[in-house]
Structure 1
Amino acid sequence: MKFGLFGGAARGADQTGDSQSYRSFIDYVVKAEELGFESLFLVEHHFTGAGQLSASMTLLSYLAGLTSRMRLGTGVTVLPWHNPVLMAEQAATVDVVSNGRLDFGIGRGYRPNEFHGFIVDPATAPARFDEAIDLILKSWTTRDRWSHQGQYWRYRDIIVEPQPVQQPHPPIWVAAQSEASIRQAAARGQSLLLDQFSDTQAIGQRIAWYRDEQVIRGVEARSHQIAVTRGLLLVDDDAKRNAEVDRRLKAIAMLAATARVPNEEGEAPVVGSQMLDSSQGATEASTVIGTPEACIARLKELEAVGVDYVLFNDPWGGVERLRFFAREVLGEFSGQPVEESAVA
């Protein structure tokens, strides 16, 4: 089983500016690579007022120069917000400066406040997404000049540079939840990003859809092409467990609140088109939680339904929690001891 990180820089409650949170997050990622974590998938969010990360490609470019092994991904780039040719150029640049370490995670968007802010009709998101990904792939794989007159974008006599290091293009990761979208990703040979709020049973069902479609289509099934995000609530004493759950519940409530259209009441859909179950039971069922022994048991439950790649979302645990995980849990799944110098 492989482990990576999911999330981004976020302004703490005690911070008034953004520079401190970005600096802290950058140090966190660099240390995670030293500890043996395989990847980082950065979120992209806009207009929250809560200091969330918006320019993921810019930050990945910077992190490319500070890391040497870690895969650098987007979780996800919301294609309806972006000019696809400009995005192709930016993403290819990250792939070049990282020497071929980009994982390009993409999605259609789901937050009402973002559709509202960009003045994009949510009903157009699927068509915008499809046209954008076709243009990005064409940009990465076409060596001659080309033109395009589409429903949403037009270009004349362009040649897109730079070309990515990974050929024919960086891996495409799709955030998907419904059976139809998961089967579509499998049929297209795209990797799959699964959410951090669904329980183990739901995750297992989605993996089964993906693998079944691969068999139907004759697509090669590979390890580590499905990544599942989980909250990491590892503690050294079970007495601390409830406090961690409470803190995550407050974070989820803030996420839901910032996803709403300003001045509108009601719950916001947080995962795809489904309303988020923010109960304590649902939160505990979708996290890797408790002492090292309990976390190992939860990860083995995930492993039993086909999970071999877990991305941890942990906005407040910091390097100390990563170090604790590396020392007490990682070796159970990596098949090799963790270097003492890294966890000291």
Structure 2
Amino acid sequence: MVLPWHNPVLLAEQAATIDLLSGGRLDLGIGKGYRYNEFAGFCIPMEEAEERFDEALSVLVKAWTSDERWSHQGKYWQFDNVVVEPPAAQQPHPPLWMGAGSPESIEKVAARGHNLLLDQFASIEQTGERIAIFKAAVEAQGRTFDPMSVAVARSINVVMTEAEREQAIAARMAGRQRTEQLASHPSGRFRSSINSYDEGREGAEAGVLYGTPDEISERLQALRDRE
């Protein structure tokens, strides 16, 4: 869920409703977004993304955890004497999985006590480095690191022949190029975090699991070992 696009009180109510209907099985993934064209489509300046994310997250948690009516006067959102219903099934609120990639943003996730959601573009080595940063930040606060508090997004392509592998890699590279075009400002003024990854074949192979079921199983184990 890209928080800068959403009214945080409405989102709190919608998420709590889903949590109740699912019997307390909702996990909510959140991020600040990274595609310029999407922010433009919602008429939200992308340079406001981080501030909007921080404020929306603060309101979201307050909406779930307040037992009484409350108010909020922020830069982007103002709420007066509100109560959010229904309450979520999970208390104090459903688990939050916060997308992050830079060391600073990963440390923010740890400081807030949320779970870490890592992207699908990083290599196994980069993923391991980010998990290590998160682990150190959690332990620096006197908490025990739980490997299950980290989720890694990953595309999987089951290929049985070299020709199928080449076809899958070519499709991945084309998809990456399209994503980078959508993520960047036409003038080049804003460059998304996705642009920091290798745009060529090596990058296309590093962030995806290609291979037979056995080969993919081995690479999944390598990812798990990074914890």
Q: Common fold, TM-score beyond 0.5?
A: yes
Whether 2:47 is the aligned partner of 1:120: answer no
Letter of the 1:278 partner, please give it.
Answer: E
1:294 to 202, 215, 224: 215
Cα contact 2:122–2:197 (8 A) shared by 1: no
2:8–2:56 CA contact under 8 A, matched in 1: yes
- The alignment's TM-score, normalised by the length of structure 1, stands at 0.62
| Distance (whole Å) between structure 2 residues aligned to residue 204 and residue 285 of structure 1 | 13
Tell me, what secondary structure is at the counterpart of 1:193?
A: strand
Does 1:147 pair with 2:68? no
Question: Alpha carbons of 1:193 and 1:265: their partners in 2 closer, same or farther (altered >3 Å)?
Answer: same
User: Which has the larger share of strand?
Assistant: 1
1:136 to 34, 54, 60: 60
Query: In structure 1, what is the Cα distance between the partners aligned to 2:208 and 2:190?
Result: 21
Separation of aligned partners in 1, 2:162 and 2:219: 15
Q: Evaluate the alpha carbon distance shift between residue 273 and residue 196 of structure 1 in structure 2; reply closer, same or farther with a 3 A threshold.
A: closer
Is it true that 1:182 corresponds to 2:106 in the alignment? yes
Alignment of 1:228-267 (within 5 A): 228-261=152-185, 264=186
The structural deviation recorded for 1:132 is 0.8
Per-residue CA deviation, residues 77-114 of structure 1 (Å, 9 max, x unaligned), is 11111111011111111111111111111111211112
> In the aligned structure 1, how far is the partner of 2:123 from the partner of 2:59?
35
**AA aligned opposite 1:279:** G
Aligned equivalents of 2:138, 2:131: Cα separation in 1: 11
C-alpha distance in 1, partners of 2:97/2:219? 25
Answer whether contact 1:256 1:267 (CA < 8 A) is retained.
no
CA 1:260–1:179 in structure 2 vs 1: closer, same or farther (change >3 Å)? Answer: closer
Alpha carbons of structure 1 residues 217 and 274: separation in structure 2 relative to 1, 3 Å:
farther
Q: What residue identity is the alignment partner of 1:257?
A: Q
Q: Which deviates more, 196-205 or 236-245? A: 236-245
Instruction: Return the alpha-carbon distance in structure 2 between the equivalents of residues 268 and 231 of structure 1.
Output: 26
Matches within 5 A, 1:1-344: 77-261=1-185, 264=186, 269-270=191-192, 272=193, 274-306=195-227
5+ residue gaps, structure 1: 1-76, 307-344
- Residues 287/165 of structure 1: CA separation in 2 closer, same or farther (3 Å cut): same
Deviation, 1:260, is 4.4
Percent of matched pairs sharing the same residue: 42
SS at match of 2:148: coil
Measure how far apart 1:190 and its partner are: 0.7
So what's the TM-score if we normalise by structure 2? 0.92
The CA distance in 1 between the partners of 2:52 and 2:187, in whole Å, is: 28
Partner secondary structure for residue 172 of structure 2: helix
Q: How many residues align?
A: 227
Secondary structure at the aligned position of 2:117 is classed as strand
Give 1:138 shift: 0.9
Residues 238 and 291 in structure 1, CA contact (< 8 A), matched pair in contact too: no
SS in 1 for 2:55: helix
Q: Encode CA deviations 1:170-216: one digit per residue, 9 max, x unaligned.
A: 01111001111111211221101111111111111100000011111
1:313 aligns with none
Q: Distance in 1 between matches of 2:137 and 2:188?
A: 37
> Relative to 1, partners in 2 of residues 1:294 and 1:124: Cα closer, same or farther, differing over 3 Å?
same
The change in CA–CA distance for 1:122 and 1:266 in structure 2 (over 3 A counts) is closer
Alpha-carbon distance, 1:118 to partner:
2.8
Contact between 1:267 and 1:275, CA under 8 Å: does it hold in 2? no
